[in-house]
Chain A
């Protein structure tokens, strides 16, 4: 994660809306733990609602959504595997435990990064995540 200046200095209202895109994913995280798709839907709705907003807002909405899209298959697989164990289609194995720990670890990193991004973006700073930053650059045009 790196922070720097944007192509222009975003005004207060843009910084607030950009920051909200990250907050959106944090707000739905409680629901998103058992149902990972809810996170993506939440971020997706926010992205669509801001698709005509200023470049700074759109850019951060897109970065937030892309990060959610990455964690979706990871979390969905964890939920599916857990349900399979509960309903006896699979047994508790070392692979399962390792996967859940890995998924929790990645979710935790994402959670911390999202919180930091929400705070810094609110201050008008441009936060770029590793991989998601360049990907957002390629997808969102100014």
Chain B
């Protein structure tokens, strides 16, 4: 019996020994895993951006881009993220939405800039989306919901336009799973606090959006696709209490007013397509309003 046990231990040792020995090889580099992944992400991102640009034009105003970019920069620098690794696109569209795309691209709709009542609220949205990017939620979700083979076909240009549209729709109109959303909220609160912003503004935005009861149209995509906003709002307020920070303003009043005014003008002047899109979708108001729960107070009590 001892011989059998000894031989078993030797066999198991041989197995684990081989495994440990083979682990010393860097297969990720050998198989160019990073390069292939980055290339595929880049192509996917371009494809989705092209789809989005069919719904609304990309804002070309340098001053608007610079202002939103400065918020991203402040969040990134304070949180040890290479600022240039995340690219912001501003889409002229009435939809209250912001979307994180593969290849560290972030699309901010002019609708959400207009809806925010302070730069800190907008920074909260940016921090939330940046956390999705940081945690790799976008590709994780696409792989899970679209499938690895379909994503490969999309990146390789072999999939039809319909698949590309559906993938874009998936990213823009539905939320990540509860775990990912919760992680993004926690990340947003921490990022804001580290960057010297009061996370209460992010909770304020969630609170106001949750009050859009009876007005759940396509316009409020960002929030209508994010479930349990009231709970999230309360959670953000709870997390805020755990953080210590010294508040420093992001944009001064004039800069914020300039941003709102410029973006508002874009909606009126250039958002013809976008506006018609909103009107069209409002006729198809989402069937369920159960997403909007009873109001929550600022101290987090529902």
Which residues does A use to contact B, with CB under 8 Å?
A: 70, 74, 86-88, 92-95, 97-99, 101-102, 105-106, 130-131, 134-135, 138
Sort A-B residue pairs by CB-CB distance and give the 7 closest, nearest first: A98-B22, A97-B27, A131-B7, A98-B23, A102-B19, A88-B140, A102-B18
CB-defined contacts of B22 to chain A, threshold 8 Å: 97-98, 101-102
- Tell me whether A92 and B148 are in contact in the complex, defined as CB-CB below 8 angstroms, given that A98-B25, A101-B22, A131-B7 are known contacts: no
Please name the residue on chain A nearest to B14 by beta carbon. Answer: A106
> CB distance A93 to B144 under 8 Å?
no
Question: Bound state CA distance, A94 and B144, in angstroms?
Answer: 22
Closest CB-CB distance, A111 to chain B, in whole Å? Answer: 16
A88–B1 Cα distance when bound, in Å, is: 43
Once the chains bind, are B144 and A87 in contact (CB under 8 Å)? yes
User: Which B residue's beta carbon lies closest to that of A131?
Assistant: B7
> Which residue of the partner chain, among A88, A97, A105, contacts B18 with CB atoms under 8 Å?
A105
- Would A98 and B19 be within 8 Å (CB), given that A92-B28, A131-B8 are in contact? yes
Write out the residue numbers on chain A whose beta carbons fall within 8 Å of the beta carbon of B26: 94
Is B143's beta carbon under 8 Å from chain A?
Answer: yes
Q: A131-B8, A131-B11, A135-B4 are in contact. Are A92 and B33 (CB under 8 A)?
A: yes
A to B CB contacts below 8 Å, 30 in the list: A70-B11, A74-B15, A86-B143, A87-B143, A87-B144, A88-B140, A88-B143, A92-B28, A92-B33, A94-B23, A94-B25, A94-B26, A94-B27, A95-B23, A97-B28, A97-B31, A98-B19, A98-B20, A98-B25, A98-B27, A99-B19, A101-B22, A102-B19, A102-B22, A105-B18, A130-B11, A131-B7, A134-B4, A138-B1, A138-B4
Q: Is B3 an interface residue (CB 8 A)?
A: yes
Residues of A within 8 A of B27 (CB): 94, 97-98
Query: Chain A contacts of B20 at CB under 8 A?
Result: 98
B residues near A86, Cβ cutoff 8 Å: 143, 148
Find the A residue at minimum CB distance from B143: A88
Give Cα A138–Cα B143 distance, bound, in whole angstroms. 49
What chain B residues lie within 8 Å of A131 (beta carbons)? 4, 7-8, 10-11
- B3: nearest chain-A partner, CB-CB: A134
Label chain A's interface by main secondary structure: helix
Residues in A whose Cβ lies below 8 Å from that of B1: 138
Beyond A88-B140, A131-B4, 15 additional pairs, beta carbon < 8 A:
A86-B143, A87-B144, A88-B143, A88-B144, A92-B28, A93-B28, A94-B26, A98-B20, A102-B18, A130-B7, A130-B11, A131-B11, A134-B7, A135-B4, A135-B8
Q: How far does the alpha carbon of A86 sit from the alpha carbon of B27 in the complex, in Å? A: 18
Q: A65 vs B28: C-alpha distance in the bound complex, in angstroms?
A: 36
In the complex, A94→B11 CA distance in Å? 23
Report the separation of the CA atoms of residues A124 and B27 in the bound assembly, to the nearest whole angstrom. 45
B231 → A minimal CB distance (Å): 25
Nearest A-chain residue to B6, judged by Cβ: A131
Residues of B with C-beta under 8 A to A135? 4, 8
Mark out the residues of chain B between 158 and 174 whose CB falls within 8 Å of any chain A CB in the assembled complex: none
- Name, among B4, B10, B20, B143, the residue most crowded by chain A CB atoms within 10 Å (CB to CB): B4
B31's nearest neighbour on chain A, judged by CB, is A97
Chain B residues contacting A130 (CB-CB under 8 Å) are 7, 11
In the bound complex, residues from chain A placing their C-beta under 8 Å from that of B148 are: 86
Contacts of B140 in A (CB 8 A): 88
Give the chain B neighbours of A105 by CB distance below 8 A: 18
**Closest residue of chain A to B142, judged by CB?**
A88
A69 and B10 alpha carbons, distance in the complex (Å): 17
